[in-house]
Amino acid sequence: MAEPTEAAPGPTRLRRSPLAHLDERMRAATVTGARGVALTEWPFITMLNLRVDPASEAAARIEKTLGTPLPRQCGHTTTGGAHTVAWLGPDEWLVLSQAESTVTYAELSEALDGDPGSVVDVSANRTTLELTGPAARQVLEKGCPLDLHPRSFGPGQAVSTTVGPIPVLLWQVEGQVDGAVYGAPTYRLFPRASFADYLARWLIDAMSEYRAPEVP
């Protein structure tokens, strides 16, 4: 998925993200060094909820439109161009895209061609938080029930879980695979917009201890 880009001029600049009011607090919470961790919001990512029988001809047409196969297993993601498809259920996926030039609601709806299934634009339903840095996994482990050790959860995996009391889709973007490190551990969290404030404040609090030296 492409890096965030500056919003286009015009009405889109009037949009206000769910965490715009916490932008300065998130920046101030950044910790640098060996125990570093940073929290940022990626606003206005396009999110399309897709439902279709994975064995159907409609699914094959959708895969052609996306330019990537639909992931078939829990936790798996696939990437095509500037968008990523995350598995949500046996016949349900979330298509994430930052670049406006990638696949659209209309294109996926056309690919269904009247067959059973649905495409729903849920972009306003969630926002995106990115947690990155050497201590990112330790911060999440304070309130996430998943085993986040690299042997169990690594780059390219995305699952529905909770962080603190908040339900999220948790996607690991970078980190460690079979002992090889691919950049600092980086996670993207997709909470409901109405829960985003609570989650961001929870993460900021969880990050604070990493400012102090590690106790031997």
Give SS3 for 141: helix
Q: Euclidean distance between the first and final Cα of the chain, in Å?
A: 39
Instruction: Say yes or no to pLDDT of 198 above 60.
Output: yes
Q: Helices 105-112 and 57-66, interaxial angle, to 10°?
A: 150
Instruction: Say yes or no to pLDDT of 181 above 70.
Output: no
Q: What is the pTM of this model?
A: 0.88
Give SS3 for 97: strand
Domains of the chain from N-terminus onward = 19-43+127-211 (3.30.1360.120), 46-121 (3.30.70.1520)
Task: Please state the rounded mean pLDDT for residues 84-92.
Answer: 96
Q: How many angstroms separate the Cα of 130 from the Cα of each of 3, 40, 120, 177? A: 12, 5, 24, 20
Alpha-carbon torsion angle 194, 197, 198, 201, nearest 10: 170
Q: Is 183 left (phi over 0), alpha (psi -120 to 50) or beta?
A: left
Task: Please state the rounded mean pLDDT for residues 115-140.
Answer: 96
Alpha carbons within 13 angstroms on the beta-carbon side of residue 214 total: 7
> How far is 85 from 100, CA to CA, in rounded Å?
16
Beta bridge partners of 167: 162
Give per-residue pLDDT as tens, 135-173: 999 999 999 999 999 999 999 999 999 999 999 999 999
Q: Which residue has the tokens 């990112």?
A: 136
Instruction: Say yes or no to pLDDT of 179 above 70.
Output: no
